[in-house]
Amino acid sequence: MKDLVDPIVDAIKLAVTTIPGDTVKALKQAYESEESEIARFNLGNILRAIEIGKSRIVPVCQDTGTLTFFVKAGIGSPYLGEIERAIIEATRRATLEIPLRPNAVDVLTGRNSGDNTGKGVPVIRWELVEGSDVEIAVLPKGGGSENCSALAMLTPAQGWEGVKRFVLERVTECGGKPCPPIILGIGVGGGADYSLTLAKKALLRKVGERNPDERIAELEEELLTEVNSLGVGPMGMGGKTTTLDVKIEIAHRHPASFPVGLVVQCWANRRAFLRIKADGRVEVWQ
């Protein structure tokens, strides 16, 4: 049976060293449209860090984050029993070889495991689907932006206006901490835990890719404009570009609840995907 560790290490390496083209394009557009000198200076530095990461194959930021893997597992895949072990082993190897910063510490003692694995990490989210392919998304996420993520249990009466207020207040409160320009993943409905899962998964969509539901796409556009009117700007030093995009995912909710999960991603919008076919062929992309 094919060894899955190598291609998963490749996907992790791609994710931490290369920022996806859609994000780079949005950062370049922001650089062109910003008028303030300090905003252009900060965007210029970000674009240079991205260029160095890609050309030297080194991480674009020293905080290589914690790793979340979203696995869409085809129920007919012969590899199902191998995936979890391969992800954990790939995380260990990637930490050593790329290298990644060891970012997994014991909750009570603070002791670092040294290899980005430990109790409950890397996080692996499973979804069973039809077919025999396995698709794995790798999402490395830095601590600075993750610290700005939040949950709001709104009342149904607060509704979408409440969602906007919550997001705008949170982005203002965080200022430069999540290294803007940020990308906002928002999950609405489904319960407290699921709204946050939806929010994190939303970050896997390309910058500029709207929700296929037109009502939600409209809300994404509205929030994008409103967040960028806040003036937080690149690295929190002022400017027109606070967020590159807003992604909203929804699920049905309890009639008495209106949960809103917000996951904030930094300019280092890292992600990569791999697909493992039943015959062992593997494809890695961003």
Q: Which residues bind ligand SF4 (CB under 6 A)?
A: 61, 63, 65, 142-145, 178-179, 266-268
> Quick one: which of 182, 168, 158, 275 has its CA closest to 233?
182
Angle between helices 37-56 and 21-33 (to 10 degrees): 150
- CB closer to ligand SF4 out of 179 and 244: 179
C-beta of residue 271 within 8 angstroms of C-beta of residue 141:
no
- Closest distance to ligand SF4 from the beta carbon of 105 (Å): 16
Structural tokens at position 82: 């191998």
Q: Phi and psi at residue 238, in whole multiples of 5°? A: 95, 145
- Closest distance to ligand SF4 from the beta carbon of 130 (Å): 36
What is each CA distance from 42 to 18, 36, 89, in whole angstroms? 19, 10, 37
- Closest distance to ligand SF4 from the beta carbon of 92 (Å): 21
- CB closer to ligand SF4 out of 144 and 190: 144
Exposed, middle or buried: residue 85 (CB in 10 Å: 0-12, 13-18, 19+)?
A: exposed
Structural tokens at position 266: 């930094």
- Closest distance to ligand SF4 from the beta carbon of 46 (Å): 8
- CB closer to ligand SF4 out of 88 and 179: 179
- Closest distance to ligand SF4 from the beta carbon of 5 (Å): 25
Alpha helices by DSSP H, listed for 57-158, are: 83-97, 143-146
Largest Cα–Cα separation, the chain: 56
- Looking at beta carbons, which residue is closest to ligand SF4? 142
- CB closer to ligand SF4 out of 179 and 224: 179
- CB closer to ligand SF4 out of 142 and 187: 142
